[in-house]
Amino acid sequence: MNALRTDSATPPNGHASGAGAGAVSVGQAFKRALVSQCHPTMLFAVLLPFLIALVGAFLLLWLFWTPLTDWLRAEVSHWDFVNRMDEWLVAVGLFSLKIYLIPVIAAAILLPVSGILGLAIAAVFVMPLVLRHVGQREYASVGRRGKFSTAVSVWNAVWVSAAFAVGWLLTLPLWLVPPMAIVLSIFWWAFAFSRMMRVDAIVEHASPAERKLILERNNGGFWTIGLICSLLNLLPPAWIILPVFSALVYAHYGLEALKRLRQERVIDV
């Protein structure tokens, strides 16, 4: 039998749909997220991941700061470049590089761990609140067809957090090469936001087949949102709202993509 698409402007391979979810859809998602973020429910939701990240940072610093700095001090003593630079700075009457370098490296290791913990908490526990909030108001027509959503969400949060932590630690030595500290920070946080939030944004509403298709078609849009969020993450005040705000942006973007996908009807004639 022949098939006729009601959305004749969309080719069978779906690339037009992916293009349609480009800059316009990303901008639309951010505008809708700003409106949603101002709702009292979403303002209250900001507290959970922020408090988790804050408590996590305190515990990590309390439990691991001394052993980590002791280990770093022993390791740095074997770095010839750092030793020569430290000796030169002390000789010219400035300061000891090691005094400042070791705390900075320790903070660069421990603080992102608490940050990714807050993001994971937002993905697993706050995203369902976000989806209920925006789903009832703007996407009531988008039915829930997801399967094993909790298990998928938890597994996704675990592997993304682990990949982020390992990648962050392995590339940390490259921070000594300007401007890799900024580039790598932006990359890894863009990875964390994109890989974690895009799945949770649609896992409750999209079937496994729909989820796979949406992720393929809109990969560029999801990464663009992650890049913007990672740039905002360079501003410390944004740390308070970013876990929930990013969840709102991804929810609007993902559910809108799912809504468009389901509007592509195939009629047998």
Query: 85 and 99 in contact (C-beta within 8 Å)?
Result: no
Report pLDDT digits (tens) over 147-204: 888 899 999 999 999 999 999 989 988 887 888 989 999 999 999 999 999 999 999 9
- CA 175 vs. chain centroid, Å, equals 21
Q: Tell me which residue of 256, 245, 252 sits closest to 34, measured CA to CA.
A: 245
Q: Is the dihedral of CA 238, 191, 250, 22 positive or negative?
A: positive
User: Rounded distance, CA 199 to CA 125, Å?
Assistant: 14
pTM for the full model? 0.80
- Give ∠ CA 214-10-213 in degrees, rounded to 5: 15
Report pLDDT digits (tens) over 17-43: 444 445 678 999 999 999 999 988 898
Q: Is the dihedral of CA 198, 203, 206, 207 positive or negative?
A: positive
